[in-house]
Amino acid sequence: MAPYLLGLRLDGRRVLVVGGGRVAQRRIPALLDAGASVTLISPSVTPALDDLIAAGRVTWEGRPYQVGDCDGAWLVHVCTDHREVNTAVAAEAEAKRIWCVRADDKDASAAWTPAHGRVDEIGVAVTAGGDPRRAAGIRDAIVGALRDGTVDARRHRTRPVGVALVGGGPGDPGLITVRGRQLLAQADVVVADRLAPRALLDELSPDVELIDAAKVPYGRSLSQEKINELLVEHARMGKFVVRLKGGDPFVFGRGGEEMIACARAGIPVTVVPGITSAVAVPGAAGVPVTHRGVSQEFHVVSVHVAPGDPRSTVDWPGLARSAGTLILLMAVERIKEIAEALLRDGRSPETPVMVVQDGTLPTQRAVTATLSTVAERVTAAGVRPPAIVIVGEVVKVGQEIEMVRAERVP
């Protein structure tokens, strides 16, 4: 007969474990996590169990099992190396109507311990006809799907509230954080940026409202004020809103403005950091932003206005004098003015430059040049946003890495 699966609430209840070997070492921590009051009976224990005993988390009686040890227990686990002892413990528990898990004989065991896992408040328990390895494999698949959000696990009784500012990473949907994907799977409304990982949107449930908050350079865009209003409006309606952004919400993502707007409206906000493209895209192109003996600093700059523009707050002369790596975002369409400013303020014309378009995506491509030739090269190659510009000697490190790789290819 198939077992009847039941979640036992063991908080404060006595659980007896007979046997102090590796099986007990695996099971006792889970019992403690459930709040059980664990008594362990065994002449000897493993070092890991000894640590739990020394910490006062387990009551240990260093002796063999005796008749009467099951008294007062709500649950018994027997896992000694001696079949006759396991049989005797199971028989006593059965006579006293206490559920007993017997590790050595699934067919003689009154109860089975499932392969269990937990993702937030969701508990997963799997039995597979007494085959623990098969059960563990199925458990791992389910837990993995819950963690990455590919299983619809939206709450219905206790729903999340407010707004979550989720950093979606540099573009590849596999680079969003586990927490970000979990919250995305819980959303009632998703307000998505143009640079958010769009492939994840195809996985949303059909009833999720999707709002396109794209800001296309020199084209159609949704104002930041309107985005703020939408977040507050939907959250006030009791919906859980995920603001899905490219990179990190607080790295040129205007997440601070959205958080302030929600705070003023009394809307709770959860912030999920993302992997910023400023670091991820150079890494995907094989370029470390710092390298021992080459660069011990890097500067991340938004170039939404060109050097010399009255609205610019960037210290371009200071960046030109710096020996650190420059990571320039939103810079492709102003690359000529940038190069001229850096050259004018002292950077060498031979400074290596790499421009990476569509970083981390299958369409990723890179153009290498020097500071004196980069504008011409970018124009000739037809590089378009989104792209990251890397300025500094670390570009040569990336080229060296690529050469070593090429030499090792048979």
**Active-site amino acid positions:** 193, 215
* Cis peptide bond N-terminal to 386, omega within 30: yes
- How far apart are alpha carbons 266 and 13 in whole angstroms? 42
Contact 151, 119 (CB under 8 A): no
Q: Which two tokens stand for residue 68?
A: 């009467």
- Strand ranges in 208-338 using DSSP code E only, listed in sequence order: 209-212, 241-245, 269-272, 298-302, 325-329
- How far apart are alpha carbons 190 and 166 in whole angstroms? 10
Of the candidates 310, 291, 283, the residue with the CA atom closest to the CA atom of residue 388: 283
Identify residue 207 by its one-letter amino acid code. Answer: D
Beta-strand relationship, 115-119 and 209-212:
unpaired
- How far apart are alpha carbons 139 and 125 in whole angstroms? 7
Of the candidates 78, 81, 95, the residue with the CA atom closest to the CA atom of residue 39: 78
- How far apart are alpha carbons 77 and 32 in whole angstroms? 13
Please enumerate in sequence order all residues whose Cβ is within 8 A of that of 336, keeping only pairs 6 or more positions apart, or say none: 375
